[in-house]
Amino acid sequence: MNQALKIIKKVHKKNIWHHTFSFPGNLNSFLGRTTFFIFLFFANLQTSKAAEAYITNQTDSTVTVIDLTSLKQTHSIQIGGKPAGIAVSGQGDYAYISSTEGKYISKLDLKTKQVTKLTQLSSAPLGIAIHPNGKWLYVADWYKHLIYVINAVNGNITARIPVGKSPSGLDLSPNGKWLYSTDRDDNQVSVINTTTNKVTATIKTGIRPFGITVNKEGTIAYTANVKSHDVSILNLKTNMLVKSVKVGKRPYAVALAKGKAFVTDQYNETVSVIDLSSNERIKIIDVGEYPEGIAPGPNGNYVYVACWFSNLLMKIDTTSLKVVGEVKTGDGPRAFGRFILK
């Protein structure tokens, strides 16, 4: 931004457009607009954010930052407490991280890469999601069977929402009105009104649902069910199970991109691909050992898979359905949640 201002000041100081030469009115207007576009060009260079992945590594208690353009590691940030869940805010300013053994939530400044402890809890947090407005954080407590609502600025717990047994994955509707929790040991999804912080409905799923992803329209959710080895497709308008699609063994999480669902199959070391128009599995992609977290990159051209036992983040082309790259992470990458800054 400063660079753009300097250029504009220099142009006007020398009067090279408006006084040194006598241009027709239309040309003066054109050159004035050009000045404005130069300003916008440099402003955009200054404010644009690089696409990055933030990978929680549970074994060495770090977060690995990966530049998705170069597919290279840029930072390793100590978090502590065995981090697993992560939620990057839609504003692109912070990431929030759940440490299961430390029993706390950390807040990572994505610009400075500085981390602070936001909230200490008394039990094990796992799934985590941030409201689209960036003000409210939702954290699943596996053992206490509830969801914490946390002020994302000061870390205060403002509500505790009882849900089913062993809540794990969380996701929100795009408008932020609804929160969805996979209650693993009750084989259901709890539907929560974020205005009242009350459960308004439950939806039956396959056996032991874990990860959950809501589509961009907020009309359908997909759960990865680790015991029945399938994905439940849920209609969020009727709160009903539409279909179950068989995938590999112990599916963990789901990413949506280019009209497809990509599902990590932990025990098969694969990613299953489901065509969303037919709701049928169309491809099985070999990846690293024990794939867990998965998320789409910018524009949905690629999805990225964290492979826990391989210490790798793998890149899959969503058109060719082939692995096209990989990069080393820290030890024990989980990346459970929305881990990509777009």
Taking only the tens place, the pLDDT of each residue in 28-69 is: 444 444 444 444 444 443 344 689 999 999 999 999 999 999
pTM of the model: 0.87
* For residue 172, pLDDT beyond 90: yes
Domain 49-341 annotated CATH 3.40.190.10: no
Distance CA 177, CA 322 (A): 36
Taking only the tens place, the pLDDT of each residue in 268-314 is: 999 999 999 999 999 999 999 999 999 999 999 999 999 999 999 99
Domain segments of the chain as ranges: 2-45, 49-341
At residue 183, the pLDDT reads 98
